[in-house]
Structure 1
Amino acid sequence: MSAGLSGISGLAAWLPERLAEAAPLVTVVGDVMLDGWFSGRIDRFCREAPAPVVDMAHRDYAPGGAANTAMNLAALGAKVRMVGLVGPDDAGSRLRGLLSAAGVDTAGLIEHPDVLTTTKYRVIGGDQIMLRMDESTPRPPAEALQQLAAALPDAVAGSDAVVLCDYGSGALEGPLADVLHLQREGKLLVVDAHDLRRWRTLGPDLVTPNAQETARLLELAFEPETDRAGLLAEAAPDLLAATGARAVVSTLDRDGTLLLTHDGGTHRTWASPVSEKQASGAGDTFVACLTLARAAGLPLTTSQDLAQVAADVVVHRPGTSVCSTADLAGHLGAFTEAALGADELARAIATERAAGKRIVLTNGCFDVLHRGHTSYLTQAKQLGDVLVVALNSDASARRLKGPDRPINPAADRAGVVAALSCVDYVTVFDTDTPIPLIESLRPDIYAKGGDYSAQMLAETPAVEAYGGQLAILDYVSDHSTTAVVRRIRAQDGAGEPAAGTGPA
């Protein structure tokens, strides 16, 4: 496990390359499958029934399920071993070939004569999925399960992390759990399973249930208007007890993800909205990136943020796809010119407001991003629908903080803040207070950290003048930029931070 990344917070475009350089060894164990995407035009209906005829133009194949998790890990720079069951059929051969071509070690991919390789073939007419055809072995024979368990010790040996992907096909039944328990010591264990109760005795480091799986664990029913994240935060002790995990990251599709830990801590990400209905496997991408980042030594909250970005990359693509190191770096790099000018921001907010969205505005230097910042911005996002973060310009920050600040220029600060999933828009202001911006945007809510009071803020009269609401948020004590900068300078021997150290 790399120790060199453990001090990084915030998402910089160079971070994916650093993760790839760390190249942890990850073993993926689980239900492998082959996805097929068959597409063409629809110009007529068949004579035999009122069914459309798809004139096939393309046949695309991709590893799915646990194999898709392995593909994403390899694309992000991990060394990967795959353990799973396939049959002696064309699908199994194709799946093995695709994995091997991506650099995945398939020595643990067990072929058994009485097993059918699980396949999911989708037929697409135009831009609509018309049909999905599935094939699998209902219950793998005991001999196949024994062979799979026997392959596990060699596959897990020397690994930094193990990802268990259990989609309920039966391939992970039998003695595998007992063998994994014996081989687990010293390895990060991430479990992505339809039924997490099966694996609670392993004491996973992380589990990643989706919304439906979480609801089943808690015996809840999510209504369309349910605040799922809020409900899960309240039920955190029950969820952690049911899974036996050190931490839970529940993936909530359109609502992003929620981290829950035993100390009562939470961390939220927000998904990038998408109308594309043909994307598949974004959850696998999330698990892969989350595992890679943790195995390389990144903090859990930063790993979660980075995994959300990776999932956002693939959810905008049709079919079963992967997020590579270049994809992730490119997506983060797109935030380099993140700050909007006053006119562009005003147009964007007018569009959001016309759609009925509640606008939240907050401001600050956000010089060296730390946990206090991310906690505060997450709270601000939860007050409304759209979060605008206004950054003090470099000149404004110097007037406010002193001649040796900011550490990072406005463009870099804007890029890092914009990369957070809770932030929708970033702008930079040059005045000593954001009052002119407040008067221009007229946000529904103006938010500030809890080290202020309404009476202390010069902005309060401006907000109240148009009927806006002022929100004082919780302050995360013992987390300040000044303290972080002091630690950095102490470690680097005084003066400016060492070149290349990125945001702290």
Structure 2
Amino acid sequence: MIRWALSKIDYYVLMNSSYLNFKDKHILVVGDVMLDRYWYGGTSRISPEAPVQVVKVSNIEDRPGGAANVALGLSKLGVSVTLIGVVGRDDNAAVLSRCLEEAGVNCRFVYSDTLPTITKLRVMSRHQQLIRLDFEEREDTLSQNEALAKEVAACLPESDAVIFSDYAKGCLADVRSLISLANEEGVPSFVDPKGDDFSIYQGATLVKPNLLEFENIVGKCRSVKELEEKGKALREQFGWEALLVTRGEDGLVLLSEGKPPFSLATAAKEVFDVTGAGDTVIAVLTAVYVTSKRFVDAVEYANQAAGYVVGKLGTASIDAEHLGAIMFQRSHTTNFGVLTPDELLKQIKLAQLSGEKVVFTNGCFDILHPGHVAYIKQAKALGDRLIVAVNTDASVKRLKGDKRPINNLEHRMAVLEGVGAIDWVTWFDEDTPQRIIEQLTPDVLVKGGDYTIDTIVGAQHVLDHGGEVKVLTFVDGYSTTSIIEKANL
């Protein structure tokens, strides 16, 4: 859907007015690396061998998973990344290395002669996961611990932070010693934990459990206040500077040393797939912290990033430009209502960069009636943001005659601005909206009436740019002309 890019000047201002300039930052990621493999295909019949669907595989996709996905997310943000983990001497390790190296991640793997590379195979059809098959084995005490520690010690001096991504697969069996190494080097450590023993993360800078993991340690929390009290005690017990509890649709709670609790509502608009959301949070959180040194700012950025990726299928991530656009747009939420076409173009770019679908419709809207309102609501339902472009007074006169419009342009736009479903109102002076449609390039073009798509002005331009064109019907019994005729009686 996204077709716009910010201008070089806009992008420079955006990146340097935020905490997203990672040019000289290096982050070390240590943890359980894995390969996420996806088989995609159609399902149209049931197997004659068993009551199961038959999937005709048409596409296979390999993606880095676990700690490898954290490293990939950091790389997409523009951070310099080194990844350390344990893999087998097998083909999947080679696939994983190739995926990561192509993305700019420096891999320093420790190879095992007895363990395979952890692989998760997901069979997908029609955007649904039908089954997941895990290929993994685990040793209670990894013989690679010493080799792993040597790699970590070698990389810490050049690192601005280290992330320990624990999926309880055994790589971080001796994570306490690795945290101690980081503390000795003065490198802040961020932990995405797992399991029922958080004492192994003693001395970390920040630990980020989800609510289930947190309550597995401290017991059920019946209120946010109880969560904060138990979280504060846990943080102090293990010497962490901060504790971040992610609570899914209920948002996040940050408890940091010497600061009051900080809560955020979730930024997710629509949850399509939560795979890798925790990886995104820890990656963005750490990256922003190394530039801002503020937990609150880091959490705000991480929350927005998580809201973005859960709306995507599969293990997703976000780049710095998209994250910056989301944060920039949040800080400019007053830029709604009546805007000039040029002002509106900037807002559309930001909306599309943040993953929002922009809908466009146009008309004279001389006397707003229930038919208009119903039509506007239908149009808004087709996307996230709705633009209504209004003919100027001169344009209306040319189309409707010298007695129109009844209400001048300023009055008509003021009324439309007050309609809750409308985000932006703008205007055009031509007889048709062709020029302004070409200028704004919306994602969805909507027209009401007895039109066909091939007769709608601007339709071909929108379609050529990957958009959609929809025809809606007005509510019967309402029209501006009939209202005027009744008034004249």
TM-score class, shorter-chain normalisation, is 0.5 to 0.7
1:8-407 aligned at under 5 Å gives the runs 13-14=14-15, 19-107=20-108, 109-139=109-139, 142-174=142-174, 177-185=176-184, 186-195=186-195, 197-199=197-199, 202-220=202-220, 227=223, 229-263=224-258, 265-335=260-330, 338-339=333-334
Q: 2:142, 2:171 within 8 Å by CA — same for their partners in 1?
A: no
Report the counterpart of residue 401 of structure 2 in structure 1. none
Deviation at residue 180 of structure 1 after TM alignment:
4.1
Find the aligned partners of 2:290 and 2:199 in 1 and give their Cα distance. Answer: 20
Are the structure 2 counterparts of residues 58 and 336 from structure 1 closer, same or farther at C-alpha, using a change threshold of 3 Å? Answer: farther
3-state secondary structure, aligned to 1:339:
coil
Query: Identity of paired residues, percent?
Result: 28
Which of the two has higher C-alpha Rg?
Answer: 2
Alpha-carbon shift at residue 194 of structure 1 (Å): 0.8
Per-residue deviation, residues 284-314 of structure 1 (Å, max 9, x unmatched): 1111111011111342111110111111121
CA distance in 1, matches of 2:165, 2:17: 24
Compute the displacement of 1:141 (Å): 6.0
For 2:334, the aligned partner's letter is: A
How far has the Cα of 1:155 moved from its partner?
2.1
1:331, 1:341 → 2: CA distance? 15
**TM-score (norm: length of structure 1):** 0.60
CA distance in 2, matches of 1:198, 1:230: 21
Structure 2 residue matching 1:171: 3-state secondary structure: coil
Q: How big is each residue's C-alpha offset from its partner over 1:417-460, in whole Å with a ceiling of 9 and x where there is no partner?
A: xxxxxxxxxxxxxxxxxxxxxxx99xxxxxxxxxxxxxxxxxxx
Gaps in structure 1 of 5+ consecutive residues: 1-11, 344-439, 442-504
Amino acid at match of 2:181: L
Contact in 1 for aligned 2:15/2:21 (Cα 8 Å): no
CA contact (8 A) 2:176 2:200 kept: no
2: distance between equivalents of 1:16 and 1:155? 30
Displacement after TM superposition at 1:235 (Å) = 2.4
Equivalent position amino acid for 2:183 in 1: R
Q: Whole-Å Cα distance in 1 between the matches of residues 331 and 215 of structure 2? A: 38
User: In structure 2, what is the Cα distance between the partners aligned to 1:198 and 1:337?
Assistant: 40
Cα separation, partners in 2 of 1:296 and 1:333, compared to 1, 3 Å: closer
Does the 8 Å CA contact 1:197/1:243 hold for their aligned counterparts? no
**How far off its partner does 1:129 sit?**
1.0
1:102-143 CA-to-partner distances (Å, cap 9, x unmatched) read: 111112x11122111111111112122110000112216643
| Aligned-CA RMSD value | 2.9
Partner SS for 1:111? strand
The one-character-per-residue Cα deviations of 1:67-94 (angstroms, maximum 9, x if unpaired) are 1111111111211111100011121111
Structure 1's 265 and 327: CA in aligned 2 closer, same or farther, altered over 3 A? same
Matched with 2:378 is none
Query: Is contact 1:236–1:261 with CA below 8 Å preserved after alignment?
Result: no
The question of whether the paired residues in 2 share the 8 Å contact of 1:152 and 1:180 is answered with no
Whether contact under 8 Å (1:207, 1:245) holds in the other structure is yes
Q: Secondary structure at the match of 2:292?
A: coil
Give, as a single letter, the amino acid of the residue that structure 2 aligns with 1:272.
A
Deviation at residue 196 of structure 1 after TM alignment: 7.3
Task: Please state how far the C-alpha of 1:201 moved relative to its aligned partner.
Answer: 6.0
Task: State the alpha-carbon separation in 2 of the partners of residues 263 and 167 from structure 1.
Answer: 30
Name whichever of 180-189 and 329-338 sits farther off: 329-338
SS of 2:139 mapped into structure 1: coil
Q: Give the Å deviation of 1:57.
A: 2.1
Q: Distance in 2 between matches of 1:103 and 1:142?
A: 28
* Alpha-carbon distance in 2 for matches of 1:183, 1:332: 31
- DSSP 3-state at the match of 2:121: strand
Say whether the 8 Å CA contact 2:196–2:216 is kept in structure 1: no
CA distance in 2, matches of 1:104, 1:296: 20
> Aligned to 1:99, what secondary structure does the other structure show?
helix
For residues 184 and 196 of structure 1, what CA distance do their matches in structure 2 show?
23
* 8 A contact 2:180–2:203 mirrored in 1: no
Query: How many Å apart are 1:200 and its aligned residue?
Result: 5.1
| Counterparts in 2 of 1:204 and 1:60: CA distance versus 1, 3 Å | same
The one-letter code sitting in structure 2 at the alignment partner of 1:83 is I
Could you tell me how far 1:192 is from its partner in structure 2? Answer: 1.0
Alignment of 1:415-434 (within 5 A): none
Give, in angstroms, the shift of residue 45 of structure 1: 0.5
1:60 alignment partner AA? E
* Alpha-carbon distance in structure 2 between the residues aligned to 1:333 and 1:261: 26
Secondary structure at 2:171 match in 1: coil
> What TM-score do you get using the length of structure 2 for normalisation?
0.62
State the distance in 2 between where 1:199 and 1:99 align: 32
Q: 1:142 to 1:279 in 2, by over 3 A?
A: closer
Instruction: Write the deviation string for residues 205-244 of structure 1: whole angstroms up to 9, x where unpaired.
Output: 1110101111111122x6xxx54x3431232332313543
How many residues are treated as equivalent by the alignment?
A: 331
SS at match of 1:248: strand
Contact kept? 1:240, 1:246, Cα under 8 Å = yes
> CA separation in 2, counterparts of 1:23 and 1:314?
25
State the SS of the aligned residue for 1:195: coil
Q: Against the structure 1 CA distance between its residues 140 and 113, is the aligned structure 2 distance closer, same or farther, given a 3 Å change threshold?
A: farther
Aligned equivalents of 1:100, 1:130: Cα separation in 2: 30
The structure-2 alpha-carbon separation of the partners of 1:337 and 1:171, relative to structure 1 and needing over 3 Å to count, comes to: closer
- Residues 216, 62 of structure 1: alpha-carbon distance in 2 compared, 3 angstrom cutoff: same
In structure 2, the CA distance between the partners of 1:17 and 1:88, relative to structure 1 (3 Å rule), is farther
Describe the shift of the 1:130–1:242 C-alpha distance in structure 2 as closer, same or farther (beyond 3 A): farther
Question: Structure with the greater relative contact order (CA < 8 A, sep ≥ 6): 1 or 2?
Answer: 1
